[in-house]
Structure 1
Amino acid sequence: MPSAAVNGTDIYYELRGTGPSVLLIAGAGGDAGSFDRVAGLLADEFTVLTYDRRGNSRSPRPAGWQTTSVAEQADDAAALLTALGLAPAAVYGNSYGAVIALDLLVRHPAVVRCGVLNDPPLMSVVKNASEAEAPVRAVVEAGMAAGGPEAAVEHFMRFASGDVSWEQLDPGLRRRMLGNGETLFGVEMGKFEPYRPDDAALSGITAPARALVGQDSPDVFHEVATWLAARLGTEVLRTPGTHTPQLDHPEELVRTIRPFLAA
């Protein structure tokens, strides 16, 4: 298994294709395998890098690692791109991965050629954040009561992506995602949602960036995308699918983002 030592931890990664580099960053519970279909489709034109974020799936949990931050996650991504000689790269991030991609644009401009930010859960910009977060809390609590972190992952993913997406996942990916429950709920959840770069930081982004929202994503993500696009000086991009279009509408997602990644 290929891995790179970055920032004191080993990060599992996968590379495919040739051409300009593209980094795909997974969200809550996901890993490199979440992008298998998207990466395969993009590999005809790009060198595609996917990876398991620290403490998830095939990237081991560092000793004593009890919490994380957006900055730590973005530093990992930047270090991985640099270590593999793939910077600057076009970056696509989904959910938590979109928050990480945004921080790359703000703090690591040298490693980013352009960025696509798909459904970042920036609850700090949502008008009724506590109301919007309540269904997620209820789903996670029900899962924990039903069977601990693994059951909570399944409840959460069925809520976020739909029953069909969950049931059609590759069995290996599904097993790894279930195993990421302790990291998701014990380390990550609650660390990404408060993130909010100020307007000066957003206006200082030099690489082209677009806010993307799934057409069937909850309203809160449409609100976030509108807020973000206004500060990036762009229009909102929309793609068919749920909060995780890489799982349920990969072909449509690739058609949506390919022209921007190539520009």
Structure 2
Amino acid sequence: MATIAVNGTTLYYELRGEGPPVVFISGGPGDAGFWPETADLLADGFTVLSYDRRGTSRSPRPEGWTSTSIDEQADDAAALLEALDLAPAVAYGHSAGGLILTSLAMRRPELLRGAVFHEPAFLTVTPEGRAVIEGLQGTVADAMARGGPPLAMELFLRWADGDEVYEAMDPAFRARMLDDGEVLFGVEMEALMGYLPTPDQLSRITVPSVVLGGAENREPDARLYCLYAAGQWAADGLGVPLVETPGAHLPQATHLREYVAIVRPILARLAASAPVEA
């Protein structure tokens, strides 16, 4: 178990492979367990870093830590890259991790060679997303009353990843995430829901970028269309096309090899980019 003290907290992290560095930033919950299979397949060509975000899973909760911000989370990622001497790297932000990556790309571009935003959770940019937030708030409140944070986290994961993916998760990984409900809903959620850059801010990001979206989320009647639409909004703001991945919101769990076949050349192209000056 590797941990390191950075930015006033202690982070658990995993490193695999050799080659240009790539860091995966998980969304909610921020557990590195979303990435081992992906990292194993990429390890022949990249140094792959994943980590548990502060206060999540194997990263201990800092004493007195009762609130956070997207900038704080981005500063954690920046400090981790610097401490492990992996900058400049390609950073990959999934879902809420895409919000963290946005802050990192805007505020610390010199640490990055490229940025991959996978259905960044800018849910407030569409009516569908705002309706989803309202529905999730009701679901979480009801689950909290009936079963506390673990039940709320289970229902959230089933919504985001699907019942089949949830049921197939490694039991230890799933148990860690269920224990993270207090942090996600009690500490992080307000910051995650309140973060939204302007289109002008997105347009001024100078880091070479790619946006990914799940093909099964493309149609307006898809259950997670709001996440695909958020990705399209980000792609428009960044001035880049949206690249589709197979499946829905978690292709690394449902279409692993097809997903990696799409992601690998994107990472290689971005890794060959020159770092951006601050």
TM-score normalised to structure 1 length: 0.95
Secondary structure, aligned partner of 1:192: helix
Residue matched to 2:272: none
Counterpart selection for 1:231 from 216, 233, 237? 237
One-letter code of the match for 1:259? Answer: P
Cα 1:135–1:248 shift into 2, 3 Å? farther
What's the C-alpha RMSD, in Å, of the aligned pairs?
A: 1.4
Contact 1:53 1:59 in 2 (8 A): yes
Residue matched to 2:120: 120
Identity level (%):
48
Q: Please say which of residues 192-201 and 142-151 is displaced more in the overlay.
A: 192-201
Q: Hey, what's the Cα distance between the residues in 2 that align with 1:201 and 1:29?
A: 26
Spell out, residue by residue over 1:108-149, the C-alpha distance to the aligned partner (whole angstroms, 9 max, x if none).
101111111111111342245432312322332332233100
Secondary structure, aligned partner of 2:60: coil
Contact 1:211 1:236 in 2 (8 A): yes
Residue matched to 1:241: 247
Within 5 Å, which residues of 2 pair with 1:51-70? 51-70=51-70
Secondary structure, aligned partner of 2:194: coil
Q: Hey, what's the Cα distance between the residues in 2 that align with 1:183 and 1:30?
A: 10
Residue matched to 1:166: 166
- Corresponding position: 1:180 with 2:180: yes
One-letter code of the match for 2:166? Answer: W
- Corresponding position: 1:36 with 2:36: yes
Contact 1:89 1:112 in 2 (8 A): yes
Secondary structure, aligned partner of 2:18: coil
One-letter code of the match for 1:36? Answer: P
Q: Shift of residue 253 of structure 1?
A: 2.2
Q: Shift of residue 100 of structure 1?
A: 0.8
Q: How many residue pairs get matched?
A: 263
Contact 1:143 1:154 in 2 (8 A): no
**Structure 2: tracts of 5 or more residues without a match:** 218-223, 270-278
- Corresponding position: 1:140 with 2:146: no
Q: Shift of residue 213 of structure 1?
A: 1.2
One-letter code of the match for 2:18? Answer: T
Contact 1:26 1:34 in 2 (8 A): yes
Q: Shift of residue 258 of structure 1?
A: 1.2
Q: Please say which of residues 196-205 and 66-75 is displaced more in the overlay.
A: 196-205
Within 5 Å, which residues of 2 pair with 1:1-263? 1-127=1-127, 129-217=129-217, 218-263=224-269
Q: Hey, what's the Cα distance between the residues in 2 that align with 1:140 and 1:254?
A: 33
Q: Hey, what's the Cα distance between the residues in 1 that align with 2:128 and 2:231?
A: 15
Cα 1:141–1:251 shift into 2, 3 Å? farther
Q: Shift of residue 59 of structure 1?
A: 0.4
Secondary structure, aligned partner of 1:241: coil
Contact 1:124 1:195 in 2 (8 A): no
Q: Shift of residue 4 of structure 1?
A: 1.2
Contact 1:31 1:57 in 2 (8 A): yes
Contact 2:116 2:211 in 1 (8 A): yes
Q: Hey, what's the Cα distance between the residues in 2 that align with 1:107 and 1:127?
A: 29
